[in-house]
Amino acid sequence: MGKNVAIAGVTGAVGQELLRIIEERKFPFSSMKMLASERSVGKKIDFMGKTYTVELLTTDSFKGIDIALFSAGGQRSKEFAAAAVKAGAVVIDNSSAFRMDPEVPLVIPEINAGDIKKHKGIIANPNCSTIIAIVPVWPLHKANPVKRMVVSTYQAASGAGQSAMLEMVEQAREVLADKPVTCKVLKYQLAFNLYCHDSKIGDNGYNEEEMKLLNETRKIFHAPDIAITGTCVRVPVLRTHCESINLEFTNPITPDEVRAILAKAPGVSIIDDRKANRFPMPLDATGRDDCYVGRIRQDISLPGNRGINIWVAGDQIRKGAALNAIQIAELL
């Protein structure tokens, strides 16, 4: 008894990854509807032995659909999610449109799968850099509440979409050929350069990406008081985010305790070989499901052994978006 599934934004980087993961994980579907905006209507997509034609995303797209996976940007989620819910579908939304809506569960299955039950038609998928940061932090927080996190990110081009990835590669070719660099999708040159995340900056000086890290973590952890400061940076990497995370705990904690907790944590793999100087890199995480953790050490700047540093790498398109959405769908 499979589900009738629709994917809104199927031609994007996350949409394509959703298809790959549905196939890999043998997600039980009995029908698949591929939706996108005008630009992509009529495109053919081969998927699991069948050829699908991309249809236009409209308010009428969801008749008979059980699960609607939205990854077509916040504007389209706002425009079409209600129609999908009205038609009887459960929407799993990858945009930021509903994440902070108190009526909408914001879910990372490894952390707060129980929140799914509270949904009223929409379940929100958290932001990529939030997911990758907090999958490994959650089991530590459960054992010893985290009081404060200081996070600096190294975010891949994929976070800005498939066209950003292609442009970054094109920019690299242009730099190597000594040609002027094209910036149509990316705000600045990203190849052989990097820049602070170019989402809108609020009155407090934080950009939206950094505020997501704070607000989404509080909601997912059910920890309204956890203190977080983030600095989000785009780096010339294709599709894996890395994050340097400094954690201050309520009680003393050692690197060995952290390692023991993370070794048993779902969705986490450890690469932490000090002797060989081998720690998680984007290339390790790309195409993989887990968040990779290394550089596990005592923060020598905090008294009483209450600080720990970790370094995390996770595939932005996969665990940062598509995989997390399919995991939610599986729980439904």
Interface with its own copies by CB under 8 A: which range of 9-17, 45-53, 61-69, 193-201? 193-201
Tell whether residue 292 is a contact of its own copies (CB under 8 A).
no
The C-alpha atoms of residue 22 and residue 20 are separated, in whole angstroms, by 6
**CA nearest to 76, candidates 62, 58, 100:** 58
Residue 24 CB neighbours (<10 A): 11
| Among candidate residues 152, 61, 93, the one with its CA nearest the CA of residue 322 | 93
Q: Which secondary structure element, helix H or strand E, spans residue 186, and what is its range?
A: none
Based on the shown chain and the rule CB under 8 A, indicate whether residue 235 belongs to the binding site for its own copies: yes
Q: Tell me the closest approach of the beta carbon of residue 224 to its own copies, in angstroms.
A: 14
Please identify every residue annotated as catalytic: 128, 241
Of 21, 242, 328, 329, the one binding its own copies by CB under 8 A: 242
Beta 307-315 vs 291-298: how paired, if at all?
antiparallel
Is residue 13 classed exposed, middle or buried when 0-12, 13-18 and 19+ CB atoms within 10 A define those classes? buried
Interface with its own copies, residue 152, by CB under 8 A:
yes
**SS3 category, 34:** strand
- Residue 25 Cβ vs its own copies, minimum distance, rounded to whole Å: 27
Query: Of 73, 294, 314, 320, which lies in the binding site for its own copies, with binding defined by CB under 8 A?
Result: 294
Within 8 A by CB and 6+ apart from 188, the residues are 195, 198
Question: Binding to its own copies by residue 277, rule CB under 8 A?
Answer: yes
3-class secondary structure, 126: coil
d(CA 273, CA 264): 18
Regarding 88 and contact with its own copies (CB under 8 A), the answer is no
When asked if residue 193 is in the footprint of its own copies (CB under 8 A), the reply is yes
Query: How near is the Cβ of 193 to its own copies at its closest, in Å?
Result: 5
Q: Which residues pair with 44 in a beta bridge?
A: 53
Q: Is 221 in the site for its own copies (CB under 8 A)?
A: no
Rounded to a whole number of angstroms, the minimum distance from the CB of residue 266 to its own copies is 25
Q: Judge contact between 183 and 261, C-beta under 8 A.
A: no
Q: Which residues pair with 36 in a beta bridge?
A: 56
Of 51, 224, 264, 300, the residue at the interface with its own copies (CB under 8 A) is 300
Side chain identity at residue 205, one-letter code: G
Instruction: Indicate the burial class of 319 (C-beta count within 10 angstroms; 0-12, 13-18, 19 or more).
Output: buried
What's the longest Cα–Cα distance across the chain? 62
Query: Is residue 227 part of the contact set for its own copies (CB under 8 A)?
Result: yes
Based on CB atoms, which residue is closest to its own copies, 31 or 192? 192
282 near its own copies, judged by CB under 8 A: yes
Q: How far is the CB of 231 from its own copies (least distance, A)?
A: 4
Query: Closest approach of Cβ 258 to its own copies, in Å?
Result: 11
Select the span of 51-59, 74-82, 125-133, 170-178 touching its own copies (CB under 8 A).
170-178
- Provide the binding-site residues for its own copies, judged by CB under 8 A: 148-150, 152, 154, 169, 172-173, 176, 187-189, 192-196, 198, 200-201, 204-207, 214, 227-229, 231, 233, 235-238, 242, 244, 246, 255, 274-275, 277, 279, 281-283, 294-302, 307, 309, 311
